[in-house]
Structure 1
Amino acid sequence: MAENNQGTTPVDRLRASVEGRVLVPGDADFEQACKVYLGGMDQRPDVVVQPADAADVARVVAIARDSGVPFGVKSGGHSPWALTNGGIVLHLASLRELDIDPESRTAWAGAGLTAGEFTKAAHEHGLALGFGDTPSVGLGGITVGGGVGYLYRRDGLTIDHLLAAEIVTADGQVRVVDADNDPDLFWAIRGGGGNFGVLTRMKYRLHELSTVYAGLLVLPATPETIAGYSKLSLEAPRALTSIVNMFAAPEMPFIPEDKVGTPVMLTMFVYAGEGEAAEQALAPFRNLAEPYADMIEQIPFPNIYEEEEDDWLPIAAARNLFMDDIDLADAEIMLERLAASTADMAAVQIRPLGGGVAADVAEDATAYGHRGRNFMLNLASIYSDLENADTHAAWVDDFTVTLQKGVPGVYVNFLEDDSAARIGEAYSEQTWARLRSVKQTYDPGNLFRVNNNIPPSGDN
């Protein structure tokens, strides 16, 4: 059993108590269980537990609480901040229950399932729910933060369709929470992140959807196309959601040879529908400039997810922010900063919001903040020259401050190593105070702190 400055990790007690798997360094699946989306993460726990069910989770929570060792919770997907140095990591990928009721259009899903797995299963019934923009993201992790995927302009956030959840709190209780049972806790887990317990199952409301008009539209990135896209995206019908990534074009089959190295916009459009309405919704974007490539077509909804490289673990400095408008001057700044980066790849991602995110749910109905903001941005500097890590971090920090224009804001699921400094930006002052109060009620000892942490109100 390994030692650390907070106590001894009780590996033998875990083995004697849980029905699931208990992995330690040297076990065949230990390294895979410690794998997260980002590269450069070298934390290693003493033990990883893959629980058999919620009762197992409750046992692990009690043991972690009693032992005082570091305790992280890793969902089924990216989980970049779930690892600990020493201590225990609870790995939920083993919780894979899925029960879809086509008649009521609801589903109970285990927290260890991924967005891609759930989407394929729901599609067999002609149903869908928006999660993230990659198939490998875990349902538990994305849900507690909010959930911004390819249907949010039509349907809102993932949490807007969370009907109930099974959660293990710090006292070791297994609770089923909803609008009538532990309503404050149910409010908090819809946007407050993994601060209040371990979600083991979630009940979702689903929507009828089989095919979408979707795919990549590749345009030159100029101040005019960036500002034009931003304006059009907010004017578009709610059925149309898009996410654009801008960077210097690498060599790709659909990029003209003479355009390699020039700024491009790779925009993924998803229109929840088909026919003439879909064509009309996309026409203004196609007219912004002569496309380098137009891959938009009618496809089954699960096909929105592209295949991912399992072995690619990017090392990146990244920041998230919100903006209310993006004009020509903003677009010029984006292009100037991209050109000035010394990273292997520098990128700006824009997610136009509005639609169901802003219109369908009251600002205080969930813990998610910033429903009224128009754009969510991610700035990334992907690099391999580790000796210049501080330079790349400074690039994204300065870029963020410039674009925010003094109006801070961040999406809790996209916080990076700036988490401790910026967690308060994810919420309004009133929401922050309420979240800390709920934390004080359900986790006064801050057991769940290896995350984007919200301290209990009793902490100074």
Structure 2
Amino acid sequence: MTAPLGRIPLSVGELTDEQYGQVIRPGGAEYEAARSVYAGDIDRRPAVILRPENATQVASVVALARETGLELAIRSGGHSPAGHGVCEGGIVLDLSGMRALEIDVEARTAWAETGITAGEYAEAAAEHGLATGFGDGRLVGVGGITLGGGIGYLTRKHGMTIDDLLAAEIVTADGERLVVDEHDHPDLFWAIRGGGGNFGVATRFKFRLHELDGVYGGMMVTPVTPEILEAFVAEAVAAPEELSTIINVWTAPPFPFVPAEYHGKPIILAMLCYAGPAEKGEKVIGRFRAIVPPLADMVQAMPYTGMFPPVDPLEHPISVSRNMFIDQVDRETAELILERVTASSAMVAGAQLRVLGGAMARVPNDATAFAHRQSKIMAHLSAIYADAAEADVHATWVDEFMTAMRQSDSGAYVNFIMDVTQEQIRNAVFPGATGERLAQVKAKYDPTNLFRSNHNITPAMS
């Protein structure tokens, strides 16, 4: 019997574990933890959280959302900056019960269920001297990061996560279970590589694996001046493709490895990952060490999994951020970054700079739904604070920072943005022909926009 529109059956026996997977209701022992996401300012109370164990149960959850008309939020790791993994009064489809991983060492491929975390996948692959590049966070679910593109420590060497995506299993809005790749439903396969969760629920991914016995990498902390920052970014740009860098210009937290006189003042906290022989990596990293004596230098030969530091699963920071691409960090831009970071009243404020290019840029712009292959540097501007009453102050700071930083590139990375308007989605995230093509795919596979708890692509009008 179909549930009445707008009502969800919550009485005992109506929602069964057999049909939907684990059923987590308000008031239950697990509900508070299950509705919590990484972002500390997201406080939404779904009507029910369903944690399926297989694709059949996923299809049942999708049918339930379709029949009741309630909002459906899909959660992999819960790290969406906009909190898209949870909704108010609707249904959360929590994929964390689906974490199976099958590695074919000889074929250099892996089938991964989309509730597995990047750290779990990396550790299992590393046992065979293999890796697929995701991002830089251990607890991030592979589902969300893959659908949005995947920019991380192996991007310049091997490309984005979507460049290693060979196939996927998708539950569509009508409950159909599809296997998609370059030959079967190629339009949908194109769209899920960068278009986010707009087109269905991805239940399994087939990834390419690369040989990677270890890296030369880790954290380096240095003082910062405009001259140092300009030189640091220039070395990252000039470095061989084996090196991917994340350069954080932050007000220093009271880390024990940072001298006390730098606490609360801007520093460079860089994560450097050379995906190649340690002796070559040491020479490349030596160019950064020569810019200025580091305050802390933890860069060394290590397993690839060592790039994912331990994290507190209970950490839920309150922050505001803006994402953008820029063309360069010259002296003027470096001066601007330090000026703006110093002016913030947040607990921790900063700009994260990721030099792109390499293998990522060699993929044609229209080969996937990620439309920013030629972007040079990704800049992520953020402020972390404790008092929610200060939200407007920090939002104003980061908006003004973004406006001052704008260069010729108007794009943004879908996985790192918070709330944005439809105009921004079509102009910055999925611009031009990419957005038009995605809208056509959306109209074909999700014409009623069931999958709308995301940075939404509205279906094209027929």
TM-score (norm 1): 0.96
- Deviation for aligned residue 1:291: 1.1
Aligned residue identity for 2:201:
V
Matches within 5 A, 1:116-195: 116-195=119-198
* 2:207 is aligned with 1:204: yes
Distance 2:435 2:18 in 1: 37
- Deviation for aligned residue 1:211: 1.0
The corresponding residue for 1:366 is 368
Distance 1:255 1:272 in 2: 27
Distance 2:161 2:323 in 1: 19
Q: Deviations over 1:30-50 (max 9, x none)?
A: 222212111011111000000
- Deviation for aligned residue 1:166: 0.3
- Deviation for aligned residue 1:421: 4.9
* Contact 2:327–2:409 (Cα < 8 Å) also in 1: no
Give the match's secondary structure for 2:15. helix
The corresponding residue for 2:16 is 15
Distance 1:85 1:311 in 2: 21
Q: Which moved more, 1:450-459 or 1:130-139?
A: 450-459
Aligned residues: 455
The corresponding residue for 2:57 is 56
Distance 1:340 1:111 in 2: 41
Distance 1:389 1:158 in 2: 33
* Contact 1:116–1:134 (Cα < 8 Å) also in 2: yes
- Deviation for aligned residue 1:420: 4.1
Aligned residue identity for 2:183:
D
The corresponding residue for 2:383 is 381
* Contact 1:76–1:111 (Cα < 8 Å) also in 2: no
Distance 2:160 2:187 in 1: 19
* Contact 2:149–2:194 (Cα < 8 Å) also in 1: yes
Distance 2:178 2:223 in 1: 51
Give the match's secondary structure for 1:247. strand
Aligned residue identity for 1:134:
G
* Contact 2:20–2:60 (Cα < 8 Å) also in 1: no
1:337 to 336, 340, 362: 340
Aligned residue identity for 1:154:
K
Distance 1:27 1:413 in 2: 31
Q: Deviations over 1:62-90 (max 9, x none)?
A: 11111101111111342421211101110
The corresponding residue for 1:86 is 89
Q: Deviations over 1:202-233 (max 9, x none)?
A: 00000000211011111111111111111111
Distance 2:205 2:222 in 1: 39
Distance 1:84 1:49 in 2: 13
Give the match's secondary structure for 2:218. strand
Distance 1:57 1:313 in 2: 28
Structure 1 stretches lacking a partner, 5+ long: none
Aligned residue identity for 1:418:
V
Give the match's secondary structure for 2:392. helix
The corresponding residue for 1:453 is 456
Percentage identity across aligned positions?
48
Q: Deviations over 1:165-193 (max 9, x none)?
A: 00000010010000000000000000000
Distance 1:332 1:205 in 2: 41
The corresponding residue for 1:441 is 444
Q: Which moved more, 1:71-80 or 1:188-197?
A: 71-80
Give the match's secondary structure for 1:438. helix
- Deviation for aligned residue 1:276: 2.9
* Contact 1:20–1:52 (Cα < 8 Å) also in 2: yes
- Deviation for aligned residue 1:253: 2.3
The corresponding residue for 1:312 is 315
- Deviation for aligned residue 1:133: 0.5
- Deviation for aligned residue 1:17: 6.3
- Deviation for aligned residue 1:241: 0.7
Structure 2 stretches lacking a partner, 5+ long: none
* 2:76 is aligned with 1:75: yes
The corresponding residue for 2:399 is 397
Residues 245, 16 of structure 1: CA spacing in aligned structure 2 closer, same or farther, 3 A cutoff? closer
The corresponding residue for 2:223 is 220
2:430 to 424, 427, 432: 427
1:102 to 93, 101, 105: 105
Distance 1:76 1:257 in 2: 35
* Contact 1:10–1:67 (Cα < 8 Å) also in 2: no
Aligned residue identity for 2:157:
R
* Contact 1:214–1:296 (Cα < 8 Å) also in 2: yes
Matches within 5 A, 1:158-307: 158-307=161-310
Distance 2:364 2:423 in 1: 27
Distance 2:381 2:457 in 1: 24
Distance 2:16 2:322 in 1: 40
Q: CA RMSD in A?
A: 1.6
- Deviation for aligned residue 1:92: 0.3
Q: Which moved more, 1:223-232 or 1:367-376?
A: 223-232
Give the match's secondary structure for 1:166. strand
Distance 2:263 2:20 in 1: 54
Give the match's secondary structure for 1:203. strand
* Contact 2:170–2:180 (Cα < 8 Å) also in 1: yes
Distance 1:174 1:441 in 2: 15
Distance 1:415 1:261 in 2: 26
Distance 1:407 1:331 in 2: 17
Aligned residue identity for 2:30:
D
Aligned residue identity for 1:69:
L
- Deviation for aligned residue 1:282: 1.0
Distance 2:278 2:116 in 1: 33
Distance 1:457 1:42 in 2: 32
The corresponding residue for 1:416 is 418
* Contact 1:167–1:200 (Cα < 8 Å) also in 2: yes
* Contact 1:14–1:63 (Cα < 8 Å) also in 2: no
Distance 1:34 1:419 in 2: 25
Give the match's secondary structure for 1:100. strand
Aligned residue identity for 1:317:
V
Aligned residue identity for 1:441:
K
Give the match's secondary structure for 2:166. strand
Distance 1:180 1:309 in 2: 42
Give the match's secondary structure for 1:382. strand
Residues 90, 183 of structure 1: CA spacing in aligned structure 2 closer, same or farther, 3 A cutoff? same
- Deviation for aligned residue 1:440: 0.3
